[in-house]
Structure 1
Amino acid sequence: MGHSDLDPAVHDRRPWNAGQNVGPKRPLKPRDIRAIRFYLDEHRRLRDRALFDLAIDSTLRGCDLAKIRIGDLMSAGSFRDRATVIQQKTGRPVQFDIMSEARTSLKAWLDRRGGMIHDFVFPSRIDYPGHLSTRQYARIVDEWESMIGLDRRDYGTHSMRRTKAALIYKATANLRAVQILLGHTHIENTVRYLGADVDDALTLSERTEI
């Protein structure tokens, strides 16, 4: 049943997002990354460690990360130098490097997981031939962040996506490079996504002498 905006009951209802932070999620800091890796290693969570490392390296949205197949990462039994994934949201390809931490954790997970190149890297618990759901991925990320003392209202799956991009932008101030990394069509989207604003521009200006 629908409601009219003029119905008194509508104005008495508690908003679904009351008390929640609905703004951009914060990226992880290097110390947060180390803490999550330590926690996952200590508890021998092979899948989660591989999932975490790949999420950081790839900067993919959860819907794309969950659907990665073994063949997207490996060829002829070894990891590709650079993986390419077609984004669900834009239909455009995005490339990313698989760094040493991710290679190590992915190899440990795939040796345990087995499977063929057409299989999903992270299978569903319910439908094994299927892939991990984005809802389950979000729950997993919430657990990681909670276990190291982060506020779940400020962090989420987009924290995984933003982390590497934010670190690169902080080190280089190269928006174009970050735009390519995230697969954004317009650089304005990258600016909003990173939260780059007037303060950033002024900081860069102060560092530049002519």
Structure 2
Amino acid sequence: MTGEDAALVDRFCDMLAAEAGAARNTLLAYRSDLAKAREALGSPLGEASDEQLKHLGEAWSDLAPSTVARRAAALRRFYAFLFEEGIRSDDPSAVLPKPKQQRPLPRILDPHEVERMLEAAEERAASDRPLALRNLALIELLYGSGLRASELVTLPKTALRRGEPFLILAGKGGKERLVPVSERAHEAVRRWIEVHPGGRWLFPGGKVHLSRVRLFQLVREMAADAGIAPDRVSPHVLRHAFATHLLSGGADLRALQALLGHSDIATTQIYTHVDASRLVELVNARHPLARSRD
């Protein structure tokens, strides 16, 4: 992207960084989506008319609905910025495509399956072999605190302090949040620290910290050790298990939102599906008509 469009996008990204606290990866994603929109239009973004924007739906017809929705969202925010700054006298974004998306429910792990994974990891850690102790600490933090994979692998060695039941970390967009740490996780990390090879990171790997790809592989290996199909398990599935099992145990949706670090509660609701039998039980126990028949 060159010329006037490049200058406008620079100003737009400066605003996102300064006012919305957008992270570097978020800004790169916006730049990429706006550049692809400029390519599809074949003319300057800043000057695009309603009629030109209407044709983007056709140009993006081969893309996944989620991709179209993301690019359209980037354009809407861009044109809202141009309008608010007085760079344009109108906001043409109303004509942008609005594909219907159906977000799939995350894969489910039963509490007993997670317990099997934890037990298998504990059995291996009984040998006091360093890698087995590391793996136990990884799974205890993943399931016990609901950390994202990127948050877990980038924890500094000093993240958990003795006697403190939580840690403070920077999640998406650099937003800080408190994350609870169970006594089990504390103990697993303590055992791992005793044989830790040293360095800045709690989970070192290569020249820096453990990679997300390697974490993914380790989690699948632990699933296989517990007799669970590896393709059913990932770090995100364990984060989802943390959320759904807490909800089933009576956790409040707003509290869950804070624990997961979601800025929008609508995102949290994806994690809140429960089995049909529990819903039926809830209706039978709490609905006024059900009680009136007693």
Which of the residues 186, 193, 200 maps onto 1:103?
A: 186
Higher alpha-carbon deviation: 28-37 or 64-73: 28-37
Given residue 105 of structure 1, which amino acid in structure 2 is its aligned partner? A
Give TM-score, length-normalised by structure 1: 0.75
- Does structure 1 conserve the Cα–Cα contact (< 8 Å) formed by 2:165 and 2:182? no
Q: Does 1:60 align with 2:141?
A: no
* Distance in 1 separating the partners of 2:275 and 2:108: 16
The 1:177–1:123 alpha-carbon spacing in structure 2 relative to 1, beyond 3 Å, is same
- For 1:172, the equivalent position in structure 2 comes to 250
1:188 aligns with 2:188: no
Deviation at 1:149, TM superposition (A): 2.3
Summarize deviations over 1:17-75 as a string: whole Å, max 9, x none: xxxxx95443433322332223223323100001111111221110111000122212x
Shift, 1:121, TM fit: 0.5
1:85 partnered with 2:169: yes
CA contact (8 A) 1:53 1:101 kept: yes
Any residues of structure 2 matched to 1:105-144 within 5 Å, and which? 105-113=188-196, 115=198, 119-124=200-205, 126-127=206-207, 130-144=208-222
Instruction: Kindly report which structure 2 residues correspond to 1:71-82, keeping only aligned pairs within 5 A, or say none.
Output: 71-74=158-161, 78-82=162-166
- Identical-residue share of aligned pairs (%): 24
Structure 1 or 2, whichever has the larger Rg, is: 2
CA contact (8 A) 2:133 2:191 kept: yes
| CA–CA separation in structure 2 for the residues paired with 1:101 and 1:173 | 20
Q: Which has the higher helix share?
A: 2
Q: Where in structure 2 are there 5+ consecutive unaligned residues?
A: 1-102, 126-131, 289-294
Deviations 1:149-204 (A, max 9, x none): 22233321112211221111112162112111111111111112333699976654
Select the residue among 233, 241, 246 that pairs with 1:163. 241
Change (3 A) 1:68 1:153: same
Question: Per chain length, whose mean CA-contact separation is higher, i.e. which structure has more relative contact order (CA < 8 Å, sep 6+)?
Answer: 1
| Partner of residue 157 from structure 2, selected from 41, 61, 70 | 70
Alignment size in residue pairs: 181
RMSD: 2.7
TM-score (norm 2): 0.55
In structure 1, the gaps of 5 or more residues are 1-21
Supply the distance in 2 between the matched residues of 1:33 and 1:196 (Cα, whole angstroms): 16
